[in-house]
Structure 1
Amino acid sequence: MYGELNGVRVCDPRLRHSWRVNDILHFPFTESITKFHVANATLNFFIRGVSRPQNDVIIEIYKVYKIGDHSEPPVMVKLHSWKEPQPGSRGKWIQTDFTETVGEWFKNPKDNYGFVINATVNGKKVAVTDVSAEKSKAPFVETSVTEPKKRKRRNSGLNCDEKANEPLCCRYSFIVDFVEIGLDFIIAPKRYDAHMCSGECPYVTLQKYPHTHLLKMSQPNTAAPCCAPRKMSSISMLYFDAAMNVVVGSLPGMVVDRCGCS
């Protein structure tokens, strides 16, 4: 039995007495992260397998719209529903797009009552949702965010790509992959462009960096000017701490915004 809520099919909560508040998963987002825009969000969860798979896994994702009192179950709306082949004995990680839901939570944090993962085979639940029992297989949301649009400032540094034949000091793209370097506790971003500085700093750039070159002229024995970061910014990160809690933090000095000779 289903009803309608703004064109979305809503399951009558009276038919779901098996779903309790304990079934609800909740990822709170702090103000330090909700000030950004959600570019992409992916829900990751683990489903158990069997040695001889025969049936499909029926997966349903519900968003909680209201937490009822002790006499009433929560009100939920179905977001996604699909089937997956039952995995082998090792189990399998499942991913589904969660961008719209996380985006709504960012805009209205007070409406973030959580969600429910219902994955069953012949009525038996196979999704790992008990965070305390199996922390390494706990569900998580991988979220990529972007800065709110701001007025662009003039950047006096050069920006180049790998195809550019530019000998002078310039900023280039430099992709860092956290998984490749062993930092797999970081949920998001998995990779990002840190940028790097490379190039020469000849005396013809005196007009652009007068202090650097006047210093070299007055103290000839000092090291020659080198291409280095002149301005850097932070990135926001989503990661697991030692207690397997999802933490949002800002790490300074992670992105080169401008290069120059110093």
Structure 2
Amino acid sequence: METTVNDVLDLFCTSVSTERRLDDWRRDPRREQVAPVVLAHSTRVLYRLTEGDVHDVCQRTEHALGQVRREVGESVPQIVDWHPNFAFTHTFHTCVERIGAVPTYQQFREFSLSDAEGLDMLGSPSKELIRRLVVKQGVEQWRAQAAMRWRIGNAYYGFLREVYTLVQLRRRGIDLRVHPLADALFRVDAWTGRRALSLRVGNKKFRQGGNAGRKTPAEQLLADVQPPLRFDTIELAAATRFGQVHVPTAQVLDHAATRLGAL
């Protein structure tokens, strides 16, 4: 079983606005290296994962945030708001397919710092940003490094949360699909049939019931796709424990599976 870019385009890129969005993305000079990688990507490994696989990674991974506290992690605005040319989801999905499993944080760090593709996608750009901030703007080296750990670590936990949701809903009989192009370009975390799913966290950046933090939501980006899509959201309360993977409860997943399975 696999999901290719053609599956994404056939479902989501069927209107003037979505075709224009894809074309603009392809033509963006910042995406010159990105587009060929993402358009060639196929999702396979994630569909083979079991509940035990994901729990094992959550147990074995080191704390993705290390010893960094929020006040330090969010103290460098240029890193808090940093978006590399390759979206984090692109790098995570590429790493999964490369190693044939969901990586622990230490495995993901190794991929980003040692693998040629990982370096191009994340390792080298993150190092270059830190260097510029230290040399040209006088940011303390340790602070810039800590802020980058916070930025990447939180993105890693977000990806684990999405993988956990995917595996759990598929275990409940929902034929859920994912692809990094759908996520980064159309804000769709997953889909089944013509139902698009978003996973949101209710906190100061991701306000409960709102769209702050995701910019333009999938409901707006895909509003004119024909035949019309339907949309659903799994919303989590804010995480309460530092350095742990915050995942939906069984009750939340059961309710989501019931909604998705009824369509």
TM-score bracket, shorter-length normalisation: under 0.3
Bigger fraction of residues in strand: 1
Bigger fraction of residues in helix: 2
TM-score if structure 1 supplies the norm length?
0.28
Greater C-alpha radius of gyration: 1
Higher relative contact order (Cα pairs below 8 Å, separated by 6+ residues): 2
